[in-house]
Amino acid sequence: MKRLFKTYLEKPELAGLILLVLLIILFQVRSHGVFLNQDNLRGILGILPEAGLVAIGVTILMISGEFDLSVGSVFALMPMTMAVLMVHGWPFPLALLAGLLVSAAIGFINGYITIRFAIPSFITTLGMLFMARSLTVVVSGGFPPLLPADLPNWLFTSFVGPGNMFRMSFLWFAAVALLTSLMLSRTNFGNWIKATGGFLPAAAAMGIPTARVKIVCFMLCSVLSGFAGMLQVLRLGSPLPSIGEGMELQAVASAVIGGASLLGGIGTVMGGIIGTTLIRVIDNGLVLSHVDANWFKFAIGFLTIFAVVANAWMRKRAKAIKMEG
């Protein structure tokens, strides 16, 4: 037991992982083996990268001690920007670059305003949620523009791998997950992110440029969200201005279920991914087990509260044990 608690403190995503395994077993049994068959897995893995990339950005930002509610709107604005530019004859790579720059700019504005005026990022990004969503509808002119036919889908959405198991988007997701994970745990910048979110006065006193660290995290979060939105639009084939609605809260739920602390300083990229996977698995598993799909949001809500309560309790226990030992 002692050992378990100790491991837990070092790996806050552990509880989520255990729950994930239990749920997979449960759904596999309840669905009479359909859950883990190839077609169903392909379905889950095909859409996981979109929510997963957003969750990675939100998790890292949360570790730095801030919060982003505008990710769902950026998710829609980035591909809409691209689509409108392409309708005006821009080639795909240039439109992609412009879309990523728009996302980065939104992240910068979120971070700059939050820090410059010392207001909660909850408010800044809530404002940005409405503004970016509105911009999405305005630039689309009310009608989703038609995407050109010659898009590089082979690079983003085509199925690849043994048995065509994955979409290309999954490889992008895996690469981003690996790189951000290494950044957080193995680089000095990762150390600064954790220090900034863990205890801001100490980080500042030790000479860490905390404002810059936070702004970079805001920008990373926005860029990942925009990129994820593009993946979804390429998969669906049409840039709907309404995509990504409600995504910001699911991303926060993912991060929290994966062990990230709302107060900053604690969390892992892997945790955010586990949280996202849990949500996707529940979404899919409920349907396969013939449970009314309207229970989905209930399950996510319950899980979020449960995760935070369990995390708080475990952290307290782990601390008590370490004090004694």
Q: CB of 202: closest distance to another protein in angstroms?
A: 5
Cα distance between residue 148 and residue 221, in whole Å: 28
65, two tokens: 């001690």
Q: Which of residues 194-223 bind another protein (CB under 8 A)?
A: 194-195, 198-199, 201-208
Query: Which one of 120-128, 157-165, 225-233, 315-323 is the stretch in contact with another protein (CB under 8 A)?
Result: 315-323
Q: CB of 325: closest distance to another protein in angstroms?
A: 9
Choose between 148 and 198: whose C-beta lies nearer to another protein: 198
Q: Which residues contact 18 (CB under 8 A, 6 or more apart)?
A: none
Q: Which of residues 101-120 bind another protein (CB under 8 A)?
A: none
Q: Which of residues 240-269 bind another protein (CB under 8 A)?
A: 261, 265-266
Choose between 4 and 293: whose C-beta lies nearer to another protein: 4
CA 166 to centroid of chain Cα atoms: 19
User: 10 Å Cβ neighbour count for 33?
Assistant: 10
Q: Phi and psi dihedrals of 160, rounded to 5? A: -140, 180
Any idea how long the chain is? 325
Q: Examine residue 319 and tell whether it contacts another protein (CB under 8 A).
A: yes
168, two tokens: 């290309």
**Taking a C-beta distance cutoff of 8 angstroms, is the pair 56, 72 a contact?**
no
End-to-end CA distance of the chain: 13
Choose between 124 and 261: whose C-beta lies nearer to another protein: 261
- Under DSSP, is residue 68 helix (H, G, I), strand (E, B) or coil? coil
Q: Which of residues 7-46 bind another protein (CB under 8 A)?
A: 9
* Residue of 68, 73, 69 whose CA lies nearest to 215: 68
Q: Examine residue 316 and tell whether it contacts another protein (CB under 8 A).
A: no
Choose between 133 and 194: whose C-beta lies nearer to another protein: 194
CA 164 to centroid of chain Cα atoms: 25
Spell out, one character per residue from 160 to 199, where the chain touches another protein: x when CB under 8 A holds, - when not: --------------------------xxxxxxx-xx--xx
Choose between 178 and 206: whose C-beta lies nearer to another protein: 206
Residues that bind another protein (CB under 8 A): 9, 186-192, 194-195, 198-199, 201-208, 261, 265-266, 319, 322-323
